[in-house]
Structure 1
């Protein structure tokens, strides 16, 4: 019979399989899980369970090949729910019983077999009628106020079908869907624009335009980091307004060297005087508080 450590390893395997349903291009293991994969997993769990786990927790409990100590029960419940169970207890019960039960098969009567086949045919016809794919469609992503295309590196676009979230490649401000069903949705995320999720238009036109609402404070911050403004006193006053007092900044260092952490005072001091290092930083994620001040920033240093 499996012990709890073995069951936890099994749960980690199921989490990878579930992750691959959303990001099919990832075919590795936990050791090969990159910082971007970690962020994708955090976002999936937050979207699905409305719970948030930290990067540090993932590095401590999921990345290692073996685990000497079992995580807390509440965290095990979150991971089990992510894999489709009500919690850790159900996961343990199911897999312990699967490990001890001996499968037996019984011959079914022709009557029930014919009913099953008939139901499968009816179900197939129903699904075919409701999910017939249309031609490919191109989504153009523009700023709501300027009607100008948004830089490719500033947006992430996902196609959502049957709760599966598949990333799409963005080129020249456009993303192309190869097939569209009646339930297909498009989700666009950006650190500088409000998140948007819409159904794909069912019209026969090939293109559909999405107008993204800008996050003004995020765009101001981007301008600060990319500009050569010398008026440091003006910067200081404006940063005080747009940055929350409890700001957290995480800078991902190049070559997998780790990350650096800054609070509001430390980060503001770096931005007051423009440097070549600041211009090499690319904003990956921004989160605002209830007053729309910037409360969290994730940055990649290139």
Structure 2
């Protein structure tokens, strides 16, 4: 390998060393900015106690090809920057025989290997701990509809764990949740009655049945179905909607919301329209007699 080829290796090592010191830089010498050059000059000063100029970096490090080898004193500085004693040692590094492989590792390299070993141990320990925690501290719970045993959709049902009176959402996937064995769980849906589970009081729960909110499901049926018997709809709406029901319809594209009272909302529901079918119930509140007192709807 010629000295110029070794210099290319040095340039590569300098760039790699710079990236370790400044991890946010992911480019090459080609897009090395003036600020990067100033950073490199400062770093070389700190690491080697030697000064280098911007012009030297522009002349010798940034170009993709080099016709002449720079002065040895500058090569020594950058060789020291990447962890060797100088240019002579750096040139010698790529050539290893069996005897050299058994040489005593320099203190600086021993430190690097020690740090690498510690990081490896921490990573493996972290993976082991996560696996142990998952197997010993987490509990899987299956959610199902009480009467039909149907699966529960994450589109209409949200699950939360309560920590310090704050609700944090838990992923509901394939009708299952995975929570801490001591968690307090709250299950909410406009189509099921709210369910609270304290696993410290009722441990080893592996299945939870949700009781449907009948009036909410009837209302959703009105929105999605093609029933044209408006008189029947009107009579049923009188029964399931409270006289003072409030209905909020959230408009698309952040255009605000519309408010409906019982008569206005009933009139909208008794005649199926394309816009009606694009409505999705996201929140329902019932009174003690199960009549609906509040509805929140979004336009899909």
Question: Normalising by the residue count of structure 2, what TM-score does the alignment of the two structures yield?
Answer: 0.52
Aligned runs of 1:240-251 on 2, under 5 Å? Answer: 240-251=238-249
Equivalent residue, structure 2, for 1:20: none
Q: Deviations over 1:43-67 (max 9, x none)?
A: xxxxxxxxxxxxxxxxxxxxxxxxx
2:162 aligned to which of 151, 160, 163:
160
Equivalent residue, structure 2, for 1:148: 150
Q: Distance in 2 between matches of 1:236 and 1:223?
A: 14
Q: Distance in 2 between matches of 1:164 and 1:243?
A: 31
Matched, 1:196 2:198: no
Q: Distance in 1 between matches of 2:240 and 2:208?
A: 27
- Superposed displacement of residue 142, structure 1: 1.1
- Superposed displacement of residue 181, structure 1: 4.4
Equivalent residue, structure 1, for 2:235: 237
1:209 aligned to which of 207, 210, 222:
207
- Superposed displacement of residue 170, structure 1: 1.7
- Superposed displacement of residue 290, structure 1: 2.7
Q: Distance in 2 between matches of 1:265 and 1:251?
A: 15
Matched, 1:174 2:172: no
Q: Distance in 1 between matches of 2:229 and 2:281?
A: 23
Distance 1:271 1:291, change over 3 A: same
Q: In structure 2, the residue corresponding to 1:225 is in which secondary structure?
A: helix
Q: Deviations over 1:188-209 (max 9, x none)?
A: 0111111111123543xxx821
Matched, 1:253 2:251: yes
- Superposed displacement of residue 136, structure 1: 2.6
What is the Cα-based RMSD across aligned positions, in Å?
1.9
Q: Distance in 2 between matches of 1:273 and 1:282?
A: 17
Aligned runs of 1:126-141 on 2, under 5 Å? Answer: 134-141=136-143
Q: Deviations over 1:63-110 (max 9, x none)?
A: xxxxxxxxxxxxxxxxxxxxxxxxxxxxxxxxxxxxxxxxxxxxxxxx
Equivalent residue, structure 1, for 2:8: none
Q: Would the aligned equivalents of 2:138 and 2:181 in 1 still touch at CA under 8 Å?
A: no
Q: In structure 2, the residue corresponding to 1:154 is in which secondary structure?
A: coil
Q: Distance in 1 between matches of 2:224 and 2:173?
A: 22
Equivalent residue, structure 2, for 1:128: none
- Superposed displacement of residue 215, structure 1: 1.2
- Superposed displacement of residue 255, structure 1: 0.9
2:265 aligned to which of 264, 267, 272:
267
Structure 2 spans left out of the alignment, 5+ residues: 1-132
- Superposed displacement of residue 153, structure 1: 1.2
- Superposed displacement of residue 162, structure 1: 4.0
Q: In structure 1, the residue corresponding to 2:137 is in which secondary structure?
A: coil
Aligned length: 165
Q: Which has the higher contact order (CA 8 A, sep 6+)?
A: 1
Q: In structure 2, the residue corresponding to 1:170 is in which secondary structure?
A: coil
- Superposed displacement of residue 168, structure 1: 1.1
Distance 1:290 1:199, change over 3 A: closer
Question: Normalising by the residue count of structure 1, what TM-score does the alignment of the two structures yield?
Answer: 0.51
Aligned runs of 1:87-126 on 2, under 5 Å? Answer: none
Which runs of at least 4 in structure 1 moved beyond 6 Å after TM superposition?
Answer: none
Q: In structure 1, the residue corresponding to 2:177 is in which secondary structure?
A: strand
Equivalent residue, structure 2, for 1:296: 294
Q: Deviations over 1:217-261 (max 9, x none)?
A: 111101111111111111111111111111110001111110000
Q: Distance in 2 between matches of 1:298 and 1:263?
A: 12
Comparing 167-176 and 211-220, the one that deviates more: 167-176
Comparing 242-251 and 162-171, the one that deviates more: 162-171
